[in-house]
Chains A and B, each alone.
Chain A
Amino acid sequence: MNVVADHFGEILTGFGRTVLLTLVSFAAALVLGGLLGLCRVAPLGVLRSLAACYVHTVRNLPLLLVVVVTVFVLPQLGLTLSLNTSVTVGLAAYIASYVCEILRSGMETVPAGQVEAARAVGLTTFQCLRLVVLPQALRSMVQPLGNMFIATALGTAVGSVAGVNELSGVIRQLNVQYVEPLALFASATVLYVALTLAGGLITGRLERRLRIHR
C-alpha cells in the first residue's frame, strides 16, 4: 500500500492524462464522426461511398494497429505532433468510424413520415434536418454514444504502448520499479471503474432527461 501512498501524485497525474485523452479524443471523434455520418446520408454518391469506405476500413482494423500506424505515419506526412496529440488523432479516427454508424442508424430510426410531414409544412431540407430529424435522432443516440465514450476511455490505455504516460503506463512503470502489483493494479482499477461509472451515470441521466413521454 505504501507505493500507492508515496506515488499518489504520479498516479493521479496519469489518471488526469487518461481523462484528458478520453475527453479530447471523444470530442474529436464526435466532430469527425458527425461529418462522416452526414456524408453517409448525403445526396452525393461520392461522399456516401467515401464515408462507407472509411467506416468499413477503420472498423475492421484493430485499435492498436490504428494508433501505432498513426503515430508512425503522421511525421511521414510532414506533421510532427507531440506523442499525446498523435495518439489522440489515432484514437479519434478509430472511434469516429463508430460514431458515424451510430449517427446514421440514429437517423434511420426516425420514421420517414416525419420528413414527409416536415416537407409538407414547407421546411427546406436543411431545416428539416436541423429541426425535425436530428433532434429525434439524437435521443436514440445517447446510449450508444455513452457506450462509445466508455470505449474511448478504455482505448486510451493503448496509448501506453506508444509511450504516452497515462494511467496504465504509469502503473506499468511503477510496478517495474517497486514490484507491488496488488496495490498498484487495485488503485488503478478503482480509478478506471470510477471513470466508466461516471460515463454510464451521465449517459443514463441525459437519456432520462431527453426522453419524450408519449
Chain B
Amino acid sequence: MSGTARQGAGEAARSTEESTAAMTQTRPRPQPADPAPTALDAAPSGRNAPARRAPRPGPRAGRRPLGGAAGVLFEPPGARGRRQRRLGSVAAAALIAAFAAVVMLQLGRHGQLDWARWQPLTQASIQRFLFSALGDTLLAGVVSIAIGLPLGAVMGLLRLSRRRLVSVPAGAVVELLRSLPLLFVVYFFLLGLPSLGLRMPPFWQLVIPIVLHGVGNFAEIFRAGVLALPRGQSEAGYAIGLRHGQVMRLIVLPQAVRALLPTIIGQAVRALKDTTLGYVVSYPELMHQGNVLGSFLENDFLQVYFEVAVIFIALNWLLSKLAEWVETRTGRTPRPVRPRPNTAPQIGVPKTN
C-alpha cells in the first residue's frame, strides 16, 4: 500500500513540477528569423531549467508571450487574416459588452446600482471598520502561516524519512489533513470540541484548522521540492561521506527551499483566502465584518462584498508581486555549491542579461 502511495505521490510531485514549470516558462518563443537570441535562450535551459522559475503562476501571466505549442498555434496573419481577426475582435468585444450591459441593466432594475446603496462606502467610519477587519484577516493569515510552515516542513521531511515506522504514519497524517474540507475541520473546532469540554476563542477556532490544512499542503510542497531535485545532488553528498541528515541539511534543503519560495507564497495566498471562514466562527475578519456591515446597512451586501473582493484581489496581487520579486532575487544570489554547468540543478543560476 505505502509503496504504491509513495510512487503515486512521486508522480504527483513530478507532474505538478512540470505543469508549474510550464506555467511560468517566461522564455519568449524562438524567432526563426533571428537565430542568435534563440541560441542564447536555449543555452541556460538544461533538462531542469524550468524548475528554477518555479510555481505561482501569478497575474504576470497576462502580459508575457505564451510558451510551447500555445505560442505558435496561429501563424502570423496575412492581409486577409488581419481583416478577419479585426472583424472577430469587434464581434467578440460587442458580445462581451452586450453581456455586461445585460448584467448592469438587471442589477439596476433591482436597485443595486443606486447611489444611496454605494454612498455608505464613501464614509470614513465604514472604511475604518472594514480596514480594521483587514488587520484581523492579516493577523489570522500571518499566524497560521507562521505556525503551519515549519510544522509542514517537518511533516514533509518525516514523510521522506527512510524509516518506514516514521514515513508511513507521517504520510497517513498528511493525506488525512489534505483530504478533509477546511470548513468541516472548522465545524469540528467550533461545534465538536466545545461539547467535549474544550472551548477556545474564535481566533484559534479559525487558525488551528487553517494551520492543520496548511501543514498538509506545506508538507507536500516540501516533499515535492526535495524529490524534484536531481538525484545526483544527494548521491554526490553520500559519495563524499555525508550522512542522510547532513545531505538533507547541507545539500538538499537549501536548494529546495529556494526553488520553492514562490510556491510557498502561493500557499500563503491560499491561507489568506481561507481566513474568510472566520465568517462561520464569528472571528471579525473581512468576510464576517462585511456580512455584519451588510446587514447593518439594510441589505447592502453586494456593495460591501464588492469592496471586500477588491481588497482581496489587491492583497493577493501584492503577494504575487512579492513572489515575482523573490524569484528574481533568488535568481541573482550566488549559489552555495557551484556545480558544473548543465549537469547540476539550475536553481539559482545568475541570470545573464
Q: A109 on the interface (CB 8 Å rule)?
A: yes
In the assembled complex, the CB of A151 is this many whole angstroms from the nearest CB of chain B, namely 10
Interface size on A, residues (CB 8 A): 83
A172 to B109, CA, bound (A): 38
Whether B62 pairs with A52 at a CB distance below 8 angstroms is yes
| Chain A contact residues, majority secondary structure | helix
Which chain A residue has the least Cβ–Cβ distance from B190?
A172
User: Which of B15, B57, B89 is A46 in contact with, Cβ under 8 Å?
Assistant: B89
Which of A55, A102, A107 has the largest count of B CB atoms less than 10 A from its CB?
A107
Residues from chain A with Cβ under 8 Å of B18 in the complex: 109, 140
Which chain B residue has the least Cβ–Cβ distance from A55?
B61
In the assembled complex, the CB of A191 is this many whole angstroms from the nearest CB of chain B, namely 10
Residues from chain A with Cβ under 8 Å of B184 in the complex: 157, 167-168, 171, 185, 188-189, 192
B61-108 interface (Cβ within 8 A of A): 61-62, 66-75, 77, 85, 88-89, 92-93, 96, 103, 106-107
Residues from chain B with Cβ under 8 Å of A60 in the complex: 59, 269, 273, 312-313, 316-317
Q: A46-B96, A133-B69 are in contact. Are A168 and B11 (CB under 8 A)?
A: no
Instruction: Annotate A8-35 by CB proximity to B: 1 below 8 A, 0 otherwise.
Output: 0000000000000000000000000000
In the assembled complex, the CB of B251 is this many whole angstroms from the nearest CB of chain A, namely 28
In the assembled complex, the CB of B340 is this many whole angstroms from the nearest CB of chain A, namely 26
Q: A44 on the interface (CB 8 Å rule)?
A: yes
Q: A43-B77, A168-B184, A182-B196 are in contact. Are A65 and B287 (CB under 8 A)?
A: yes
- Which of B's residues lie within 8 Å of A, judged by CB? 8, 11-12, 15-16, 18-20, 22-23, 25, 29-30, 57, 59, 61-62, 66-75, 77, 85, 88-89, 92-93, 96, 103, 106-107, 109-110, 112, 175-176, 178-184, 187-188, 191-193, 195-196, 269, 273-277, 279-280, 287, 301-302, 305, 308-309, 312-313, 316-317
| A-B interface, 6 closest residue pairs, ranked by CB to CB distance from nearest | A181-B192, A157-B181, A110-B69, A196-B179, A143-B15, A108-B68
**Assuming A65-B287, A72-B302, what are 9 further A-B pairs, CB within 8 angstroms?**
A44-B88, A63-B276, A64-B287, A72-B301, A143-B15, A144-B19, A150-B179, A160-B183, A185-B188
Q: List 23 A-B contacts (CB under 8 A).
A: A43-B73, A43-B85, A44-B88, A56-B317, A60-B312, A62-B274, A62-B287, A65-B276, A65-B305, A72-B302, A72-B305, A104-B23, A105-B23, A108-B22, A108-B70, A108-B71, A110-B68, A133-B69, A143-B11, A168-B181, A168-B183, A168-B184, A197-B179
